[in-house]
Structure 1
Amino acid sequence: MTKAIHTDKAPAALGPYSQAIQAGDFLYVSGQVGIDPNTGEIVEGIEAQTKQVLTNIQAILTEAGTDFSKAVKFTIYLKSMEDFATINEIYGSYLSEPYPARATIEVSQLPKHALVEMDVTVYTNA
Structure 2
Amino acid sequence: MSIHTDRLESLAIPGHHGYPLEMQKTDVTSKLSALAQPVRLDIVLTLASHREGLSAARLADETGALRTNAAVHLTVLRNAGLVSSQRAGRSITYRVDRDALRTLADFLAGAADKISEQP
- Asked if TM exceeds 0.5, the reply is no
TM-score by length of 2: 0.27
Larger Rg: 2
Larger proportion of helix: 2
- Relative contact order: is structure 1 or structure 2 higher (C-alpha 8 Å, sep ≥ 6)? 1
Larger proportion of strand: 1
